[in-house]
Structure formats: structure tokens, C-alpha cells
Structure 1
């Protein structure tokens, strides 16, 4: 129990403090969440991606393994969610909302700070988390749009969305510069460092602001569905990840990073899609809130068990 409490206090609680500060500052000053999100998405997130991939030795074979893991993980999650959906007999709108609440998880605002704390700033595990963040940025803006409301999805709009994502330019650029040993001028490397270092604090504050803008109560009519979503995301997710890394024979440190990454709560992307397409927005927002709250315990438990087995 003392190890569990130690992990809670050193790996998870620091994030909770930063998130709470975000909640409080939003309640006091009503911050503009769209501005914070854009700064994270277009400045801080690309900077940390570039910085990590340029400065961290990560092989193409490892990237391939991570991508293969993500495909298997997403497919396995999808199958399990579909079983739950059929048993519950959801309406079409609720089906897509439940899928998004489980398949899309907070790999950026929550996942990267967690990775830094859980693995003591290890550059390799952080680079792995960045690749996961890349995919979790791409999937909601492609599959997620179709899932929520396929008949309204505009292919041109989706293409524009994809082409506007900094990640599709930053990652190949960083890998090319690294592979060809091209030095970055200090006039550029210094601003990149500043932006990269700002990511974690800003990401957690942003998550707090997002939670602070939500309604902090669960309707009885949604209690079972929100609970199912949280269980599939926080408990089934890491169990599936453990099974897949075991089947793939992935080495221990990489496996641990992938399992921890799978244990994070539901992404705000599910809420944004629900609001944009007027599709079960209340369920989506409550799933994000509840999964984030419960993750304090579940994420601590995942790290605790990994300390014993990995």
C-alpha cells in the first residue's frame, strides 16, 4: 500500500494539482478555451514533437511496432465497444458517442505529462507517447467525423482539416533533419526549446480549464452509460494494451510506455465532435469529466502493477 500511495503522490497528484489550478483560474476569470487549445495545438504540441523526434534516437522499426500496436489496440477496443452497444441497444447517435468516448483518449494534455512523471523524463518513452499523440490527433478528425455523422461529413473539409494539422509536417521534417544530421541554427532551436518546455504546464492548465467549463454532475439517466464508458476506457483499455504487447513480444520499457498511454481518460475530442454535430453532447462531456476524475485512482493502479511486472 505504501508503494501505491507513493505512486499516487509522486506520479499522479502533481498533475491533479495543475489541473485543479486550471479549474480555479477558469472559474475566477472565464478563460477562452479556444485560444488555449489553439496555442497547444499549433505552437506547444508541434514544438515538443519536433524537439523529441529530432533529439531522440527512435528507429523506424520501433515506429512501425508502435503503429502496429495502435492498429491492433483500436480494433480490439472497437470490437468490445460494439458488443456493449449491441447489448445496450443504443440509438445511432448514442452508438457513435460511446465509440468516441472509448476510442479517443487524452494522449496529449494528460498522456505526455503522465509519461514524464511515470518514466522520470525518459526520452525514449516520451517519443513513443508523441507518436501516440500524433495518431490520436489524426483519428478524431477523420474517422471521428464520419462516426458522429457520416452523411454530413464533407471530404473537402476533412482534407482541409488534415492538411492544417502541424503534426503531418513536423514529424517528417524532424526525422529528415535528424537522419541527414542537419544542425538547426540557434536562432530557431532556442524558440523551439522555449515552446517545447511550455507544453506540459500549459496542457494541464488547459485540461483544467476544459473541466472547469463542464457541468459537474451526472444525470441518473446517463449513469450506467457514463460508467460503462469509464470502465471501457480506464480498465479494459490498459488490460487490452497489456495483452497486445505480450502477444507482440515488445520489450519491457516500450511495453510499459504503451500500457500507461492506454490508461488515460477520454479525450475532449469526443466532446468537440458531439457539440459540432449536435450528437449526445451531455453524455460526451460527462464521460470526459468522470473518466478524468476516476483516472486518479486507475492510472495510479496501472503504474503500481507495472512496477511489479515490468
Structure 2
């Protein structure tokens, strides 16, 4: 077991850690603004990766159906557990919303996609692409609802989806596949060059964001501490166990099982704190959860990948 752990860390997490450490060091010593880099990743690199992956993805309609079914059921399951914990702990409304954001939304884009590619190869990335598209849609619809509740606007949530180029890239890729359209080789090469930059840039952003969201000397109330420990339990223990059981019940096996389990066990999503800040859904709790679940993932995920391998 120890040998498998060390091998996984060396082969998978060492390559990932270099751009993450680079981003963290630059952010620490040079207070750079990561927003323009995030914009580059969101509006250019990510759509190129999604398009290139989907248009050539080796994934069956059955696997797509399984991915959609698992994603929806897993979200409902985790939401129900988070609500139950919030009520049992008598958490205030803001902390309950923050806990829900932490429990449901994972860093499957900036962190998950590069990890899946290194751990499971192109076959894993193909199968991850559908899950990631679903997560993008869910975060920008139900994520707003869970963060805002009474402030929720259906129009706002719907419009936010259509502002994301990754959605259009996914639709275009599906159209090209369905119509059997073959792109010119030169265009494919250009798209491949852009998508190839995604992993290193996304991991750089992750490292910089980890420095930005460190907890510091903030004072926490008893309710905030309850929500924080509940968030850790949801992300690090309950979510992986619940996801594994659901995958078994759905009869999902092989590479798709591995990819879905890893992506659903990723640390809390960085964009969850954006929603938490916008709608006052305990942003300090969410920020603290993001930092500690990300740090813990560098130990827990190698163990999981080694076990799956």
C-alpha cells in the first residue's frame, strides 16, 4: 500500500504540484491579480479543451446516460445529507447555505481535469468531459439557488449559463460529431495548442487561489466552526463513501467508475466562495473549507487513486 501511494504521488501528484507551487509562490511574493489569468482559462483554454475532448471522445451513449444519472442522483443525495446535518446542528441560514455549497460543488475543472488526465490518461479525460460540463451548468443554476435562496432569480441563473463559452464549445462539438464534420488539420492543431496550455495554467491559478483563501486570523463563531467541520466531513469522508455506494448501485464499472469517484471526491470548488461572498452564504466558512480540503486532497486522493489502480 505504501509503495502504491509513493508511486502515485511521484507519477501523478509531482507533475501537478509544480505549477501549483509555482502559482502559490508567485502569489505570495508578487501580489498578482489572477482574475485576468482566470478569464483566459475560462473563456479560451477551457472551451478549447472541452471542444477537443468531446469531438474526439471515446465515450458511448450509455456512459453519457450513466454520467448524467450519477451526477443528478449524487447531487440530490449530498444535498439531502447537508440539509440534515444543518438542521441537526441547528446551523443558521447562512452557514447552512455555505455548507451546501461546500458539500455539492468540487474543484473538478482546475484541479480535477489535469488530475484525471495524468491518473487515467486520455480515456479518463474523455469520460470526465461530460461530468465537467454538467457541473458547470449546475454551479451556475442550482449553485446560485443554494447560495441565495430567497434572492434567487431564475432569469439570472439561466443567463449565466449562456455567458460561458464552454457550453457553446460543448454544443458545437456535439453538432460536429453528430453531423460527422471533419475539421481541417490546421484548425485542429490550433485548437490543440490552446487546449494544451489549460492544465498548467489552471493548476497555476489553483496555487495562487490557495494563497488567497488562506484562513488567516479570522475569528470564528461556534456556528461557523460547526459548519466548517461539517463541510470537512462532507467533502473528505461522506461524499467519497456516498459516491462509491451510488456508483456500485448504478452498476458503473471500469474507467468511468474511477473517474466519477475521483471527480466527486475533489476538494471544495474555489468558485463556491464567489457565490458565498455574493449572497452572504458564510464566505469565511467556505473559504476555510476550500483551503483545508485542498491541502488534505494531496494525501487522500493519491490513496484513492492507488486503491483504484
Name the residue aligned to 1:140.
139
Q: Residue 40 of structure 1 contacts residue 202 of structure 1 at CA under 8 Å; is this kept in 2? A: yes
The one-character-per-residue Cα deviations of 1:41-93 (angstroms, maximum 9, x if unpaired) are 11111111100111122222211110001111111111211221111111111
SS at match of 1:90: coil
Rounded Cα–Cα distance in structure 1 between residues aligned with 2:155 and 2:263: 32
Please provide the CA RMSD for this pair.
1.7
1:32-51 matched pairs, under 5 angstroms: 32-51=33-52
Name the residue aligned to 2:9.
8
Name the residue aligned to 2:96.
95
Name the residue aligned to 1:238.
240
Name the residue aligned to 1:186.
185
Q: Residue 94 of structure 2 contacts residue 280 of structure 2 at CA under 8 Å; is this kept in 1? A: no
- Residues 240-249 or 148-157, more deviating: 148-157
Q: Which residues of structure 2 form unaligned runs of 5+?
A: none
Rounded Cα–Cα distance in structure 2 between residues aligned with 1:170 and 1:52: 10
The one-character-per-residue Cα deviations of 1:175-232 (angstroms, maximum 9, x if unpaired) are 2212322111234222211111001000000111111212344756444432321221
Rounded Cα–Cα distance in structure 1 between residues aligned with 2:252 and 2:277: 38
1:223-262 matched pairs, under 5 angstroms: 223-262=225-264
- Residues 169-178 or 64-73, more deviating: 169-178
Rounded Cα–Cα distance in structure 1 between residues aligned with 2:85 and 2:76: 14
Shift of 1:171: 1.4
Name the residue aligned to 1:274.
276
Q: Which residues of structure 1 form unaligned runs of 5+?
A: none
Q: Residue 263 of structure 1 contacts residue 302 of structure 1 at CA under 8 Å; is this kept in 2? A: no
Rounded Cα–Cα distance in structure 2 between residues aligned with 1:246 and 1:102: 21
SS at match of 1:30: coil
Q: Residue 91 of structure 2 contacts residue 227 of structure 2 at CA under 8 Å; is this kept in 1? A: no
Name the residue aligned to 1:157.
156
TM-score, normalising length from structure 1?
0.93
TM-score, normalising length from structure 2?
0.93
Rounded Cα–Cα distance in structure 2 between residues aligned with 1:164 and 1:157: 11
